[in-house]
Amino acid sequence: MMCSRINFVLKHFYKRPTWNCRLCSTIPQTNERDPAPFFFDRHVQELLTTLTRVNYEKVFAIRRDGTPLEVPQYSFMTDEELQKARAQIGAKAKRRIQMPPVVKIKSDEVEVLVKEPELQGCEQHNLVFTDISFGKNNRSRLIVIREPNGTLRQATCNERHRMNQIYFPINGREIHTPQMFFHPYLSDLLDRGEFEFILDRACVQFEPDDPEYHRVTKEVYSYVYKLNKLDALRSTRHFGPLVFQLAWENNIDKLLLELIDTENIEEAGALVRLYHALHPDVKSAQETIHEDMELIKVYAELDSPERYAISNAIQRYNKMQKEKKKMEKGIMKAHGLIDDEDV
């Protein structure tokens, strides 16, 4: 529910075409660009949803989060009622896999309001002043710090987080960062494969632009990708941001090979299109290609550092498709469905 509200606010804040966000024709450095306008683009969202590969059994699997289990209900339905029920389940699944937003890390530069050395020594500790007026937004709420040396400044990200949590607590969020997000506890959770648990917990504890949120999520994504544990996050709300991060960092080849080897060519094509959407100046993005396999070939030839590995994967895929067609014709012939001339 909290991620839904955050998505709504950020989506409208960054609601502008992605092609207006670039100020020159050259590709800027990845860490200088803001990913939010790209992430909230409708076409990019569609591609990420395709790559998530929604599996209802996994989306609606029982979770150990303390939520009481509901007693299953069985009923007879007409075809029309069945179609309506399926549409409702589809909408519910879509809400469950709603992706956490990917935005730029918030700058922690402290704005000094005034320096008053005549107040130095009046207090031994920082004094925190927080505007707790009704209707204020936690992100823009006025929070200032008076230091012992007389300096009056805006609060840092960490100070703002703690003050907001004290006055306006969010259920499940702690004032101080839990130890589970630091090593060796984080390493233990990763080794146990608790990827979704870590990411879900990070969404509750941190804001999407918090440096700690970026640190934790990137470490999980890196671990999952390095050990090829992608299926652990596939069909969850975190797979889209993972793929977005890979494409943002020009690191899609390993995932592309996996999609080709598992014969998910539509998803492989969606991955290349996502890469083109985030990096519109690459060579393969200049070609207008609609067929998935041809798009993958052009990407491999012009932009991929794993050109030969992808070409070999495509050859294996084509060979497998030919063998499948040959087998299907053999089965049909054995059942007398086709003549020898058609084989």
Confidence at 3, pLDDT banded by 50, 70, 90: low
**Burial classification of residue 297, based on how many CB atoms lie within 10 Å of its CB (0-12 exposed, 13-18 middle, 19 or more buried):** middle
Mean pLDDT computed over 87-96 = 90
Q: Is the peptide bond before 184 cis (omega within 30 degrees of 0)?
A: yes
Can you give the chain as a three-state secondary structure string?
CHHHHHHHHHHHHCCCCHHHCCCCCCCCCHHHCCCHHHHCCHHHHHHHHHHHCCCHHHHCCCCCCCCCCCCCCCCCCCHHHHHHHHHHHHHHHHHHCCCCCCCCCCCCCCCEEEECHHHCCCCCCCEEEECCCCCCCCCCCCEEEECCCCEEEECCHHHHHHHHHHHCCCCCCCCCCCHHHCCCHHHHHHHCCCHHHHHHHHHHHCCCCCHHHHHHHHHHHHHHHHCCCHHHCCCCCCHHHHHHHHHHCCCCHHHHHHHHHCCCHHHHHHHHHHHHHHCCCCHHHHCCCCCHHHHHHHHHHHCCCCHHHHHHHHHHHHHHHHHHHHHHHHHHHHCCCCCHHHC
Q: So what's the pLDDT on residue 339?
A: 66
Model pLDDT for residues 130-169, shown as the tens digit of each residue: 999 988 888 889 999 999 999 999 999 899 999 999 999 9
Report how far residue 223's alpha carbon sits from residue 221's, in angstroms, rounded to the nearest whole number.
5
> Cβ neighbours of residue 306 under 8 Å, at least 6 residues apart?
253, 254, 257, 300
Report how far residue 91's alpha carbon sits from residue 98's, in angstroms, rounded to the nearest whole number.
11
Mean of per-residue pLDDT scores for the chain: 87
Backbone angles phi, psi at 231, to 5 degrees: -65, -20
Q: So what's the pLDDT on residue 328?
A: 78
Residue 272: both structure tokens together: 């290349």
Mean pLDDT computed over 37-55 = 95
User: Given a cut of 80, is residue 21 above it in pLDDT?
Assistant: no
* High-pLDDT (> 70) share of the chain, %: 88
> Cβ neighbours of residue 295 under 8 Å, at least 6 residues apart?
269, 272, 273, 284, 289
Confidence at 63, pLDDT banded by 50, 70, 90: confident
Q: So what's the pLDDT on residue 26?
A: 34
Backbone angles phi, psi at 257, to 5 degrees: -65, -40
Model pLDDT for residues 275-331, shown as the tens digit of each residue: 999 999 999 999 888 899 999 999 999 999 999 999 999 999 999 988 888 887 778
User: Given a cut of 80, is residue 92 above it in pLDDT?
Assistant: yes
Neighbour count for residue 224 (Cβ, 10 Å) = 21
Residue 104: both structure tokens together: 């730029």
Residue 232: both structure tokens together: 């652990």
Whole-Å CA distances, 233 to 28, 49, 77, 193, 197: 30, 13, 34, 10, 10
Comparing 52-61, 172-181, 249-258, the range with the smallest average pLDDT is 52-61
